[in-house]
DNA sequence: CCATGCACGC
DNA sequence: GACGTACGTGCATGGT
């Protein structure tokens, strides 16, 4: 017979935590769902990990409890429950009902007492009990049967406390938690305790005297005159506080343990509720994917599979889906084509498509208008097959991204659903995810593609209208859409990469790594897995007894900043840092890059994600060519493997100097900053002069380093904490630096204030070219989330405008290269730099053209400055 | 298969 | 006064 296991959940506490931990989500219909969602996530996690036989969720009842008879101020001064949360409680109860989980409350009592009472009952019956809450008060209940799961940060992270864990953490037994609270009080419940006694003092007293009563019995033995006075003065208050903190284990709970029985079952009612609340990820988790498909399938869909294509099928505009079998469109086959226009929706098997002259010339005709979902993918995939797609007039994914970059924009079904078109299956649902991925037969596939094509066609006017309302039509037509075609060319071109160079570097790295590894084992006196932070932590902090500087939620932190602090303590530490650095080079850059050299072209073909970042930057995957090492010489050598693709060509690299700070100067219209750039000053030195109030010749290198970090902070929107970390100073000092900076640049200060104010009014911020980022948290009552949103409001227009500018430069550069009939290829973009390969005899022209185009991509009130370099490899272009 | 810790770039 | 703090991608580990 399996042992019974009861989970007791502090309903109010979990709901509050969920509400404050998650952004204020809402459904299409405007129902707030963050607390419900968080509650559901926590619940599912607990049910999965604990597999209980019985579950109960306890709630507080009403405002007054028996504790108010003892102390009318109990829980006084609490903020009112926000209405956005209150309205979610009925739905949380509904959620529990549909999960088949009992919930319960008792007039005059708190959830605490219900839980305490039932925990005691279950304990007597020798059941296992787990209490889930965020409230440390509950630790008093821990005993051999009862374990407390304290929710740490977020919602689904818990820390389990057995009595020994309480002892370890507080140095006292669970039973003494009430004495602890009695002495130190609890501001959140407005329990007074003894003034001047905090956690440290309270624990010390309890270790010496056992209980509060014990303290007063031997009050003469208490050391410290002041402390003794305070204890005596507040004797009554201490006893009352202890009473308030004591959970009642004999509350009038009429519910029997058996009534809390729980059996895991996914009901259609639960699925229905999840759908109503738009909890798609949770539907996935309970395995209700098929039900989602069923929904789409319910609606009959008419389409035709074409075995022959005629002009009549190719009405303008037509939507076009080029389906690729591999998640990486540089590889894989084309699966088939979906097509839709006012004559109907069609599936074209790939053989039919590629053998049809009519279709091919339609694809390559600039004048026939195509609506696509991901034009870059289509263009590249067809380009690998010598078909040159032309005439893309609209890209659904791009448009959707510009309208709101925070939404899911890589899934046509998700976009469709947001616009109330519910007949598309998501690719994940249709093909299956990960290992479950399957390729379907033509019949099913045809319908899927025809549905997708139809959705693109129907989304066209809806998205066009939204772009128009947002004043983003020219951002779309003049910037992002043309850029997608430029990126397609760059990706298809790829960068020539020397396998030999990488392999040689790999061998040398292997030798060095083996040597360091042995060295470390010797110093450690044992072998272990150096790549395991867990094992390394045990060696450093247990075996070698080095001081613990920082902990992660799973153990000791062994990050570089921690190791640097420990470096003087043990000669092994610098070697560990070396090992990490070289190991990274070998695994990510040598082995990683070798894996992605295309066997046919000998080149690396990355993919730029144009619809991902919240700021408007690009990202690069498979491989990421935007984070190839440069700072440390050993890593920088990796760049020697990147070459031009022809003899006597060079790699030509051009980067914007201080583009973000120039953008800031322009947006903020800060006279100081604009002048500094007009005069060509070293901006970090200038910042140091102003912040530290010294003359140029008196700026020390330390001042300049600090000023540089402050500028870095402004550009990336880091907090005083972030700045303090990067400079190794206190948060207060960092805060003072930021203040001094803002006093020196009043235009910047005013901009920062104005942009936050505007964001609060509008709910979003914009860049120079009308890129948009919504900041729902900017009105949050949660300090953290609000502060983060405020920094984002200040930073996004800066970073996003810089992204606008280089994107504009790329589009113009592509046109200019064609105009000037150059054979130079643009290969990569790394946020503020462009990398080309060029024949030697075009270098002189590039030296003029590249800076010209980049510096004049947009007109600002500060000059943009571009620096360039070139050489036989990427390494040499410095 | 997923979360975690770590490290690389801007 | 606490909170947990730039954005991305990718690797190895260690749990399911």
- Measured CA to C1', the nucleotide nearest A619 is C8
CA atom of A129 to C1′ atom of C13, Å: 32
DSSP for A785-809 reads: HHHHHHHHHHHHHHHHHHHHHHHHH
| Rg, C-alpha atoms of chain A | 32
- Residue A295 is predicted with a pLDDT of 52
In the 534-563 segment of chain A, residues within 7 Å (Cβ) of strand C are: 534-535
Which residues lie below 8 Å from residue A352, measured CB to CB, with a gap of 6+?
Answer: A306, A307, A308, A309, A359
- Residue A718 is predicted with a pLDDT of 82
CA atom of A521 to C1′ atom of C13, Å: 19
pLDDT of A754 over the 90 cut: yes
Nearest residue (CA) to C1' of C16: A49
CA atom of A57 to C1′ atom of B7, Å: 43
CA atom of A396 to C1′ atom of C16, Å: 38
In the 328-347 segment of chain A, residues within 7 Å (Cβ) of strand C are: none
For residue A393, give the nearest of A470, A465, A485 by alpha carbon.
Answer: A485
In the 602-631 segment of chain A, residues within 7 Å (Cβ) of strand C are: 609, 612-615, 619-624, 627
- What the block records as the tokens of A552 is 């992660």
DSSP for A583-635 reads: HHIIIIIIIHHHHTB-TTTSEE--EEESS--SSS--EEESS-TT----SSHHH
CB A257 within 8 A of CB A125: yes
In the 493-532 segment of chain A, residues within 7 Å (Cβ) of strand C are: 529, 531-532
DSSP for A440-507 reads: --HHHHHHHHHHHHHHHHHHHHHHHHHHHHTT-HHIIIIIIHHHHHHHHHHHHH-EEE-HHHHHHHHH
pLDDT of A153 over the 70 cut: no
- What the block records as the tokens of A784 is 């953290």
How would you write A174-233 as a 3-class SS string? HHHHHHHHHHHCECCCCECCCCCCCHHHHHHHHHHHCCHHHHHHCHHHCCCHHHHHHHHH
How would you write A507-528 as a 3-class SS string? HHHHHHHHHHHHHHHHHHCCCC
- Measured CA to C1', the nucleotide nearest A724 is C5
- Measured CA to C1', the nucleotide nearest A535 is C13
Res. A395 pLDDT band, cuts 50 70 90:
very high
For residue A493, give the nearest of A815, A827, A821 by alpha carbon.
Answer: A827
- What the block records as the tokens of A615 is 């700021």
CA atom of A535 to C1′ atom of C15, Å: 15
CA atom of A147 to C1′ atom of C16, Å: 23
Q: What is the mean pLDDT of residues A501-508?
A: 93
Give per-residue pLDDT as tens, A197-206: 888 888 888 8
DSSP for residue A96: H
- Measured CA to C1', the nucleotide nearest A533 is B5
Strand B bases with any atom < 7 A from protein Cβ:
1-2, 4-10
Helix, strand, or coil (residue A360): helix
Give per-residue pLDDT as tens, A462-481: 999 999 999 999 999 999 99
Tell me what the pLDDT averaged over chain A comes to: 89
pLDDT of A302 over the 70 cut: yes
CA atom of A844 to C1′ atom of B9, Å: 29
Alpha-helical regions (H) of A7-79: 11-21, 34-50, 66-70
- Residue A491 is predicted with a pLDDT of 95
- Measured CA to C1', the nucleotide nearest A577 is B7
- Which residue in this structure is represented by tokens 């109010």? A12
| A595 Cβ nearer than 7 Å to chain C strand | yes
pLDDT of A291 over the 50 cut: no
CA atom of A261 to C1′ atom of C11, Å: 45
For residue A710, give the nearest of A696, A729, A723 by alpha carbon.
Answer: A723
| A153 Cβ nearer than 7 Å to chain C strand | yes
pLDDT of A297 over the 60 cut: no
Which phi and psi (to 5°) does residue A84 adopt? -60, -25
Q: What is the mean pLDDT of residues A239-250?
A: 90
**d(C-alpha A300, C-alpha A634), whole Å:** 61
pLDDT of A289 over the 70 cut: no
From the DSSP assignment, how many helices (H) and strands (E) are in chain A?
Answer: 39, 25
Count of Cβ atoms closer than 10 Å to residue A485 Cβ: 18
Strand C bases with any atom < 7 A from protein Cβ:
2-14
Tell me the β-bridge partners of A631. Answer: none
**d(C-alpha A302, C-alpha A248), whole Å:** 66
Q: What is the mean pLDDT of residues A615-642?
A: 92
pLDDT of A808 over the 90 cut: yes
**d(C-alpha A604, C-alpha A494), whole Å:** 5
Alpha-helical regions (H) of A525-586: 533-538, 560-566, 572-584
CA atom of A549 to C1′ atom of C1, Å: 23
Res. A296 pLDDT band, cuts 50 70 90:
low
Count CA atoms within 13 Å of residue A508 on its CB side: 11
pLDDT of A683 over the 70 cut: yes
CA atom of A427 to C1′ atom of C16, Å: 26
Tell me the β-bridge partners of A603. Answer: A496
**d(C-alpha A344, C-alpha A323), whole Å:** 19
Preceding amide of A317 cis, omega within 30: yes
**d(C-alpha A523, C-alpha A706), whole Å:** 36
DSSP for residue A343: T
Nearest residue (CA) to C1' of C12: A531
**d(C-alpha A32, C-alpha A36), whole Å:** 8
Give per-residue pLDDT as tens, A533-561: 888 988 998 889 988 888 887 888 888 88
Cβ burial of A748 (10 Å; 0-12, 13-18, 19+) is: buried
Q: What is the mean pLDDT of residues A13-38?
A: 80
pLDDT of A4 over the 50 cut: yes
- What the block records as the tokens of A581 is 């650095």
- Measured CA to C1', the nucleotide nearest A635 is B8
Nearest residue (CA) to C1' of B5: A533
**Poorest-confidence range of A290-294, A609-613, A617-621?**
A290-294
- Measured CA to C1', the nucleotide nearest A627 is B9
CA atom of A533 to C1′ atom of C12, Å: 10
Which phi and psi (to 5°) does residue A373 adopt? -95, -40
- Residue A464 is predicted with a pLDDT of 98
A333-to-A251, A357, A494, A697 alpha-carbon distances in Å: 68, 20, 19, 64
| A721 Cβ nearer than 7 Å to chain C strand | yes
Which residues lie below 8 Å from residue A726, measured CB to CB, with a gap of 6+?
Answer: A709, A712, A713, A718
DSSP for residue A558: -
pLDDT of A362 over the 90 cut: yes
Cβ burial of A127 (10 Å; 0-12, 13-18, 19+) is: buried
A114-to-A129, A138, A186, A593, A686 alpha-carbon distances in Å: 14, 12, 21, 59, 64
CA atom of A433 to C1′ atom of B1, Å: 11
Count of Cβ atoms closer than 10 Å to residue A427 Cβ: 18
**d(C-alpha A449, C-alpha A348), whole Å:** 9
- Measured CA to C1', the nucleotide nearest A532 is C13
Nearest residue (CA) to C1' of B7: A584
- Edge to edge, the sheet with strand A158-161 lists A102-104, A54-58, A5-10, A128-133, A146-151, A158-161
- Measured CA to C1', the nucleotide nearest A576 is B6
Please give, chain by chain, protein residues whose CB is below 7 Å from any atom of strand B: A 157, 433-436, 533, 537, 552-555, 557-560, 563, 577, 580-581, 584, 626-632, 635-636, 830-833
pLDDT of A294 over the 70 cut: no
| A712 Cβ nearer than 7 Å to chain C strand | no
In the 770-789 segment of chain A, residues within 7 Å (Cβ) of strand C are: 782-784, 787-788
CA atom of A553 to C1′ atom of B4, Å: 9
For residue A262, give the nearest of A12, A57, A15 by alpha carbon.
Answer: A57
Helix, strand, or coil (residue A75): coil
- What the block records as the tokens of A456 is 């693109």
CA atom of A534 to C1′ atom of B5, Å: 9
CA atom of A281 to C1′ atom of C9, Å: 23
Give residue A20's Cα distance to chain centre.
17
- Residue A41 is predicted with a pLDDT of 83
Count of Cβ atoms closer than 10 Å to residue A598 Cβ: 13
- What the block records as the tokens of A678 is 């007009």
Type and span of the H or E element at A766 = strand A764-766
Give the rounded percent of residues in chain A with a pLDDT score beyond 90. Answer: 56
State the maximum Cα–Cα separation within chain A, in Å, rounded to a whole number: 103
Give per-residue pLDDT as tens, A309-326: 999 999 999 999 999 988
């Amino acid at each position: 017979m399996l042992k019974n296991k009861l989970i007791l959940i502090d309903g109010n506490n979990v709901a509050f935590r969920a509400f404050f931990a998650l952004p204020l989500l809402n459904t299409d219909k405007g129902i707030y769902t963050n607390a419900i969602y968080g509650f559901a996530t926590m619940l599912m996690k607990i049910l999965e990990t604990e597999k209980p036989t019985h579950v109960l969720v306890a709630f507080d009842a009403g405002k007054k409890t028996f504790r108010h008879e003892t102390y009318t101020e109990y829980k006084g001064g609490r903020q009112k429950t926000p209405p956005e949360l209150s309205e979610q409680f009925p739905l949380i109860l509904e959620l529990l009902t549909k999960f088949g989980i009992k919930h319960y409350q008792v007039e005059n009592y708190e959830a605490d007492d219900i839980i305490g009472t039932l925990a005691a009952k279950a304990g007597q019956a020798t059941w296992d009990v787990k209490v889930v809450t965020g409230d440390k008060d509950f630790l008093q209940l821990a005993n051999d049967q009862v374990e407390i799961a304290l929710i740490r940060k977020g919602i689904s992270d818990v820390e389990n406390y057995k009595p020994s864990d309480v002892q370890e953490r507080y140095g006292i037994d669970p039973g003494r938690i009430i004495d602890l609270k009695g002495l130190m009080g609890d501001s959140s419940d407005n329990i007074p305790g003894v003034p001047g006694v905090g956690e440290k003092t309270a624990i010390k007293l309890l270790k010496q005297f056992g209980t509060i009563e014990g303290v007063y019995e031997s009050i003469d033995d208490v050391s410290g005159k002041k402390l003794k006075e305070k204890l005596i003065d507040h004797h009554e208050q201490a006893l009352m506080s202890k009473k308030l903190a004591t959970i009642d284990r004999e509350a009038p709970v009429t519910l029997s343990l058996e009534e809390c029985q729980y059996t895991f079952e996914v009901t259609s009612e639960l699925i229905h509720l999840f759908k109503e609340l738009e909890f798609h990820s949770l539907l996935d988790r309970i395995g209700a994917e098929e039900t989602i498909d069923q929904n789409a399938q319910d609606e009959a869909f008419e389409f035709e599979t074409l075995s022959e294509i005629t002009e009549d099928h190719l009405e303008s505009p037509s939507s076009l889906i080029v389906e690729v079998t591999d998640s990486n469109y540089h590889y894989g086959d084309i699966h088939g084509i979906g097509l839709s226009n006012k004559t109907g929706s069609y599936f074209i098997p790939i053989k039919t498509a590629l053998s049809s002259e009519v279709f091919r010339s339609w694809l390559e005709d600039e004048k026939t208008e195509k609506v696509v979902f991901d034009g870059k993918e289509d263009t590249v995939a067809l380009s690998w097959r010598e078909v040159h797609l032309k005439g893309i007039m609209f890209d659904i994914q791009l448009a959707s991204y510009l309208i709101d970059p925070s939404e899911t924009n890589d899934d046509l079904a998700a976009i469709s659903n947001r616009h109330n078109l519910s007949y598309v299956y998501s690719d994940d649902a249709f093909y299956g995810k990960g290992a479950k991925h399957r390729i379907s037969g033509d019949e099913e596939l045809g319908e899927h593609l025809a549905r997708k094509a139809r959705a693109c066609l129907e989304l066209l006017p809806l998205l066009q209208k939204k772009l128009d309302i947002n004043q983003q039509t020219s951002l779309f037509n003049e910037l992002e859409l043309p850029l997608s075609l430029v990126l397609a060319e760059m990706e298809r071109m790829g960068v020539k990469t020397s396998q030999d160079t990488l392999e040689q570097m790999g061998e040398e790295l292997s030798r060095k790594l083996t040597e360091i590894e042995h060295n470390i084992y010797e110093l450690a006196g044992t072998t272990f897995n150096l790549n395991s932070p867990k094992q390394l932590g045990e060696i450093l902090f247990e075996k070698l007894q080095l001081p613990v500087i920082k902990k992660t939620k799973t153990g000791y932190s062994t990050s570089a900043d921690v190791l640097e602090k420990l470096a003087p303590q043990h000669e092994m530490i610098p070697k560990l840092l070396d090992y990490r650095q070289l190991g990274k080079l070998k695994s990510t850059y040598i082995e990683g890059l070798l894996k992605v050299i295309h066997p046919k072209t000998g080149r690396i073909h990355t993919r730029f994600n144009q619809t991902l970042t919240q700021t408007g930057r690009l990202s690069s995957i498979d491989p990421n060519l935007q984070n190839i090492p440069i700072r440390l010489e050993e890593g920088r050598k990796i760049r020697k493997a990147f070459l031009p693709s022809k003899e006597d060509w060079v790699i030509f690299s051009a980067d914007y100097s201080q583009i973000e700070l120039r953008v800031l100067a322009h947006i903020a219209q800060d006279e100081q900053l604009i002048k500094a750039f007009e005069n060509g000053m070293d901006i970090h030195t200038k910042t140091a002069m102003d912040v530290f109030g010294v003359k140029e010749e008196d700026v020390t290198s330390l001042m300049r380093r600090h000023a540089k970090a402050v500028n870095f902070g402004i550009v990336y929107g880091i907090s005083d904490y972030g700045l303090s970390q990067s400079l190794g100073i206190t948060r207060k000092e960092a805060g003072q630096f930021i203040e001094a900076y803002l006093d020196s640049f009043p235009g910047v200060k005013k901009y920062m204030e104005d942009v936050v104010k505007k964001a609060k009014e509008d709910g979003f911020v914009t860049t120079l070219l009308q890129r948009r980022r919504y900041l729902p948290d900017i009105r949050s009552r949660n300090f953290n989330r609000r502060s983060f949103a405020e920094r984002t409001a200040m930073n996004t227009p800066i970073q996003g405008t810089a992204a606008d500018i280089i994107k504009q430069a790329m589009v113009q550069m592509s046109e200019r290269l064609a105009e000037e009939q150059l054979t130079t290829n643009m290969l990569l973009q790394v946020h503020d730099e462009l990398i080309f390969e060029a024949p030697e005899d075009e270098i002189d022209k590039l030296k003029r053209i590249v800076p010209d185009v980049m510096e004049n991509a947009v007109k600002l009130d500060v000059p943009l400055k571009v620096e360039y370099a070139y050489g036989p490899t990427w390494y040499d272009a410095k």
